[in-house]
Structure 1
Amino acid sequence: MPDDVQEIALGGKGSFMSASGQDSLHEFSQGRPYGYIFQTVSSEAAPPPERYDYWTGSLVRGLQVDRPNERQARDFRATATSLASLSGEMHLVRTDGFAGTRTPGHIRADQSDEMALHLIVEGKLTGQYEGDSEIVAEAGDFFLVDVARPLRLAIEGCSSLIQIDLPRSLMESIFPVRIPPPSSVAKALAASSLTPLLRAHLLQLSRAVSGMNAAERLTMLDASEAFVIATIEGAFAGTAVPGKTGNEGLFMAAQRYIRAHLGRHNLNPSEIAAAVGCSRATLYRLFQGHGLTVSGHIRELRLQRLMRLLQRTSDGALVAVLAYRCGFHDIPNVNQMFRRRFGVSPTQARAMSTRQ
């Protein structure tokens, strides 16, 4: 175990605690909350024989969990502290072992278009993706969950981990052609000198998050997501295209910032320029050099994200709700923009997807 890995301290000992004003727990098995939450949930909220089903049914998302064995059916211990909003989520988890499978059926039906990076703090996790080599992650290791790939996953014994979700669009900003297999990501992180810094950051945040206010937590959630992406990008720096200029790096930084904040309705060029350390005029020139405008690029990414959601969402969610999640605030014009871009309406795009 690396020296900087210590057991995470989850907030509180009760079965459910809320620090964001909600009256009941949010069940992450149903997806992300529409508002901000900070909660600690324990399997002890249910009687011992019901704890496994309670936990896997309420908190585990995207896996077809195995039937409980004799020990799990008798009692199952797990606790999770979760920080989440519609744009991101992070979980600090201590759990008894369990296993599950992500099937092609899950992939077709799942609303999520995300990935999740797990830091194993204590214990062991093994994963086997279809067409990829087995990954064994122990204390100090990172494991990437990619919801678009069939997966067999097992947490062995009593384990602690930190999970932070990553929008697929952010990973695509690093690997525009193809996101590498999760085993390659694990190997790159294991070999990178940046990884201990990310590990230390996540461990420190796990210890400090309970003492933060809501604004501080959400700020650190955004910062942690950006830190994870930067670390993965740095771990693969040796395979990047050589000869990249400073302006090209600035352009890529602006793209990453846009992708990270695409769901914000008030995202604007002044904010982006300030975030990447250049003037607004310089930002405009960078995009013009690639035949783009800043506003046009933002609109294009939002339309692409909406198309992906329409293709992956099978529960009949309103198009207006999905468009809002993509950062569109002028909802009446979304149909027109979407049709102009893709040649079909959002409703038609969803219908075409369900017939495939």
Structure 2
Amino acid sequence: MPLRFSTRDLPPPQRRLGWQKAVSDIYFPLDLAFAGSRLFDGTLEAWSLGAVSISRNCSNGMLYRRHQHHLVEERDESYLITIPELAEVRFVQDGQDVSCAPGGFLIERSHLPYEFSHADPASLWVLKVPRRVLEARISRPERLATLRFDARSGAGALFVDMLRIAVARIAEFTEASRHLIGGQLVELLAAAVTQDSRVLSGSSTSVRNAHLCRAEEIIRSRLGDPNLTPQTVADACGISLRYLQQIFEAENITVGGHIRSQRLALCDQRLRDPRFRGSISEIAYECGFGDQAQFSRSYRARFGCTPSEARATARDPVTGNLSR
């Protein structure tokens, strides 16, 4: 069920406290500062699409702060993709200060302190995506944080259009359809951001980065091959194994570690997707794991639960509550 909160349903003295609770419930814990002394007015709606959620946030001027103390008990990282429709917003994180007007969107990380603000009344669409879901489509998604992207044309515009359409028709969808559409939104987001020159440049030179992107694409397309190794990736890229290793080391990861990480992310995605009805061992095998016990150990180390626990959680009846 969709969630809806309006400050107009509360007595004026309770509106600000009610808004803080609603925001923290739908996104994650935040400190709020309210612009001006006039009566605060805000509405917040949220819809679940499988592992991701969409919200629409309309309010007077606001400042949201995510502090280090908010992160102490937070385990699962999420990304917020914020699309302003009315008024410019400002976002500060990790030493970067970016403004985003209507016609663009920006990306925020939950696991780093930040400030998000808009001085004027604003209307925002927000897509909340767990890191485990995003990194199954985009390698090293932390590169996206604090970047502003174009939502006026191409894949960026299609991403925003589909987000709005999905909400308009969400009552018509089954649970399986909502899960599928949530995945498609993340695919469109990936298409919109991964070709951006700032994402492509990373910390590598242009030549190295071209090889890095090529290697990542080869790995992503061959995760089901149990014989995929750093050497086969290097051969497919037409470069030496040592050079490939140096390229990945510059990104603080090994080639083998990246292959394993992508396989685990794909397994997690399928375990939580109601459309995949195969056994856990079948899913592991289809994602390139030949040893079931090793897969289970690696999965638990990565996600903090067993594969069977992840599948059981995904199959719980829909309660209407959005996971934080």
User: Is TM (by shorter chain) over 0.5?
Assistant: yes
RMSD: 4.0
CA–CA distance in structure 1, aligned partners of residues 266 and 138 of structure 2: 15
CA–CA distance in structure 2, aligned partners of residues 85 and 325 of structure 1: 22
**1:244 to 1:86, Cα distance in 2 relative to 1, 3 A:** closer
Worse overlay, 152-161 or 242-251? 242-251
Using the TM superposition, give the Cα deviation of residue 269 of structure 1 relative to its aligned residue in structure 2, in angstroms. 6.2
TM-score (ref. length: structure 1)? 0.60
**1:45-60 pair list within 5 angstroms:** 45-60=9-24
CA–CA distance in structure 2, aligned partners of residues 182 and 54 of structure 1: 29
SS of match in other structure, 2:222? helix
Q: Is the 8 A contact 2:65 2:116 kept in 1?
A: yes
SS of match in other structure, 2:53? strand
State the AA in 2 paired with 1:293: G
CA–CA distance in structure 2, aligned partners of residues 213 and 43 of structure 1: 30
Using the TM superposition, give the Cα deviation of residue 146 of structure 1 relative to its aligned residue in structure 2, in angstroms. 0.4
State the AA in 2 paired with 1:63: L
Corresponding residue number in structure 1 for 2:132: 169
**Is 2:163 the partner of 1:154?**
no
Using the TM superposition, give the Cα deviation of residue 45 of structure 1 relative to its aligned residue in structure 2, in angstroms. 1.5
**Is 2:222 the partner of 1:225?**
no
Gaps of at least 5 residues in structure 2 are: 202-208, 225-261, 314-324
**1:221 to 1:186, Cα distance in 2 relative to 1, 3 A:** same
Structure 1, residues 21-76: CA drift from partner, whole Å, max 9, x if none? xxxxxxxxxxxxxxxx32322221101232122111223332111256411xxx22
**Is 2:289 the partner of 1:327?**
no
Using the TM superposition, give the Cα deviation of residue 123 of structure 1 relative to its aligned residue in structure 2, in angstroms. 1.8
SS of match in other structure, 1:109? coil
Corresponding residue number in structure 1 for 2:142: 179
Structure 1, residues 152-207: CA drift from partner, whole Å, max 9, x if none? 11133221121111121234445656721622x425x5798421221221232233
Q: Is the 8 A contact 1:257 1:272 kept in 2?
A: no
CA–CA distance in structure 1, aligned partners of residues 312 and 189 of structure 2: 29
**Is 2:311 the partner of 1:304?**
no
Corresponding residue number in structure 2 for 1:14: none
Q: Is the 8 A contact 2:53 2:128 kept in 1?
A: yes
Corresponding residue number in structure 1 for 2:164: 203
CA–CA distance in structure 1, aligned partners of residues 55 and 175 of structure 2: 15
**1:243-254 pair list within 5 angstroms:** 243-244=214-215, 248-251=219-222
Gaps of at least 5 residues in structure 1 are: 1-36, 274-279, 308-321, 331-356
Corresponding residue number in structure 2 for 1:62: 29
Structure 1, residues 233-279: CA drift from partner, whole Å, max 9, x if none? 34445745254498644235984643434435895669999xxxxxx
CA–CA distance in structure 2, aligned partners of residues 260 and 63 of structure 1: 28
Corresponding residue number in structure 1 for 2:229: none
CA–CA distance in structure 2, aligned partners of residues 137 and 99 of structure 1: 15
Corresponding residue number in structure 1 for 2:97: 134
Q: Is the 8 A contact 1:63 1:100 kept in 2?
A: yes
SS of match in other structure, 2:118? strand
State the AA in 2 paired with 1:145: E
**1:253-272 pair list within 5 angstroms:** 255=263, 257-264=266-273, 267=276
CA–CA distance in structure 2, aligned partners of residues 231 and 259 of structure 1: 23
Q: Is the 8 A contact 1:120 1:139 kept in 2?
A: yes
CA–CA distance in structure 1, aligned partners of residues 187 and 294 of structure 2: 20
**1:84 to 1:206, Cα distance in 2 relative to 1, 3 A:** closer
Corresponding residue number in structure 2 for 1:38: 2
CA–CA distance in structure 2, aligned partners of residues 264 and 196 of structure 1: 26
Structure 1, residues 288-318: CA drift from partner, whole Å, max 9, x if none? xxxx4385686356313434xxxxxxxxxxx
CA–CA distance in structure 1, aligned partners of residues 158 and 44 of structure 2: 24
Q: Is the 8 A contact 1:122 1:159 kept in 2?
A: yes
Corresponding residue number in structure 1 for 2:77: 113
SS of match in other structure, 2:70? helix
State the AA in 2 paired with 1:182: A
TM-score (ref. length: structure 2)? 0.65
Higher RCO (Cα < 8 Å, 6 or more apart)? 2
**Is 2:290 the partner of 1:293?**
yes
CA–CA distance in structure 1, aligned partners of residues 49 and 216 of structure 2: 36
Identity %: 13
**1:211 to 1:252, Cα distance in 2 relative to 1, 3 A:** same
Q: Is the 8 A contact 2:179 2:273 kept in 1?
A: no
CA–CA distance in structure 2, aligned partners of residues 217 and 266 of structure 1: 11
State the AA in 1 paired with 2:148: A
Using the TM superposition, give the Cα deviation of residue 136 of structure 1 relative to its aligned residue in structure 2, in angstroms. 0.5
CA–CA distance in structure 2, aligned partners of residues 174 and 137 of structure 1: 24
**1:102 to 1:297, Cα distance in 2 relative to 1, 3 A:** farther
**1:136 to 1:68, Cα distance in 2 relative to 1, 3 A:** closer
